[in-house]
Amino acid sequence: MSTKKQYVRVRREQGEETRQLLVASKLLDLDYKIVKEQGFLYFPLLSEVDRPSVDEALNGHEFKAGFREFQPTQVGPRTLEEALKDKMPSEKLELLPRAYDLIGDIAVLEIPEELEVYVTEIGLAFQRIHRNFSTVLAKQGAISGLTRTREYAVLAGENKTKTIHTEYGVRIAVDLAVAYFSPRLLEEHNRVAEQVQSRESVLDMFTGVGPFALHIAKKRVSHVVAVDINANAIKLLKESMDLNPLVGTIEPVVSDAHEYVRELSPAAMDRVIMNHPSGASDFIADACHVLKPGGIIHYYDFLGGEDPEGQLRKKTVELVKAAGREIEQIPMIRRVRDSAPYEHQMVADLIIS
Ligand SMILES: C[S@@+](CC[C@H](N)C(=O)[O-])C[C@H]1O[C@@H](n2cnc3c(N)ncnc32)[C@H](O)[C@@H]1O
């Protein structure tokens, strides 16, 4: 059965070089056949690949991109359900994960408790179907604690939790066992970076492995102070700073954000990013202390129930007021993603007078 996929098209003469570049950058979907047609080669790309990653991989080579049908290279099971239909009862098949997170060359599955005894079979079947991953991990429990990490079990492939993840052409060193990272925030990382103006001073209060800081410094001549209490996260950020051509500067800092901000002069920053949804509300006074009049706070929170936008508006107005400042405008409030059943990760951009 054919599948519609993104492609890169080049002239046949450039085929081998292009294939090698796409394989080296881990963009080619090896599960589908390359198509030869009228002097051109069409290379199938992995579904999550974005245009900047292709531009970077093919670095100056001429190509055309689009979508078309491709045939699979192997005839075999295409889904976990198909692969495991003889190995578990049908009511259990319905519980198999239908989606997964892709972080660099690591696939992360969320396997329900009821399938606990089948995890090895699930890992091996997943690896047989998707041959582009080095490692298949399963989430173990919820994100928790000060560093917002969780445990993972290796289901198949290499025994590792460290990889390089690419978002909008930004390369990010990630180690899931020791520092927070979510591939689901890429649109936020890019959205905030797009807003930053040249020469801005930005405080990324809970930088984690630094995706906001890296997106900004890759795009803008700016200065980002990237703070996190987790030394492992800052070590990974420092690795990523060597992986990307940056036009701005990043100052990585291992510290508690309260303590660090207390040492800064008042009104030193044009922008503060507060991406710690379970804890940011405790730090609003710090952000208000360090933000210039007219500066912007990107504030993240988890909210459930009716009208989370209204709740967030009310909450931020009260928090900023209690910190002795006023919200001049809220140009944007939105739901970033579902964080739990009936709960959203929310963001509000707050202009503070
Ligand atoms: C949700 S994660 C950060 C995500 C990151 N901004 C991103 O986009 O990937 C929250 C981070 O806050 C850090 N953190 C928690 N408490 C902190 C504190 N008091 N001071 C500084 N960082 C803190 C954690 O170590 C964690 O890396």
| Rounded Cα gap, residues 180 and 196, in angstroms | 24
Radius of gyration (C-alpha) of the chain in whole angstroms: 22
Report, as ranges of residue numbers, the positions in the chain whose pLDDT lies below 50: none
| Rounded Cα gap, residues 216 and 193, in angstroms | 5
Query: Taking CB atoms and a 6 Å cutoff, what residues make up the pocket around ligand 1?
Result: 146-148, 180-181, 185, 206-208, 211-212, 227-230, 233, 256-257, 275-276, 279
Tell me which amino acid residue 343 is.
E
CA-closest residue to ligand 1 atom 6: 207
What's the token pair of residue 285?
């006074």
Q: Are 244 and 218 in contact (CB under 8 A)?
A: yes
Residue 173, classed as helix, strand or coil, is: strand
| Rounded Cα gap, residues 320 and 300, in angstroms | 14
| Rounded Cα gap, residues 216 and 296, in angstroms | 15
Query: 162 CA distance to ligand 1 centroid (A)?
Result: 18
Specify the ligand 1 atom closest to the Cα of 228: 22
Tell me the DSSP string of 238-299: HHHHTTS--SSEEEEEES-HHHHHHTSPTT-EEEEEE--TTTGGGGHHHHHHHEEEEEEEEE
Residue 25, classed as helix, strand or coil, is: coil
Query: What is the sign, positive or negative, of the torsion defined by CA atoms of 144, 146, 148, 150?
Result: negative
Query: 181 CA distance to ligand 1 centroid (A)?
Result: 10
Q: What is the pTM of this model?
A: 0.82
- 43 vs 64, 66, 71, 79, CA distance in Å? 11, 10, 12, 22
Tell me which amino acid residue 30 is.
L
Mutate to test the pocket of ligand 1, among 206, 236, 263, 297 (most ligand atoms within 8 A of CB): 206
Residue 282 pLDDT: 97
CA-closest residue to ligand 1 atom 1: 276
Query: 132 CA distance to ligand 1 centroid (A)?
Result: 30
Residue 149 pLDDT: 94
Query: 233 CA distance to ligand 1 centroid (A)?
Result: 9
Residue 191 pLDDT: 97
List the alpha helices (DSSP H) in 166-250: 186-195, 211-219, 231-241
Mutate to test the pocket of ligand 1, among 149, 180, 225 (most ligand atoms within 8 A of CB): 180
Tell me which amino acid residue 168 is.
Y
What's the token pair of residue 199?
């020469």
- The domains located in the chain, with CATH, are 3-70 (3.30.70.2580), 80-160 (3.30.300.110), 182-352 (3.40.50.150)
Question: Would you tell me how many other CB atoms lie within 10 Å of the CB of residue 137?
Answer: 25
Query: 281 CA distance to ligand 1 centroid (A)?
Result: 13
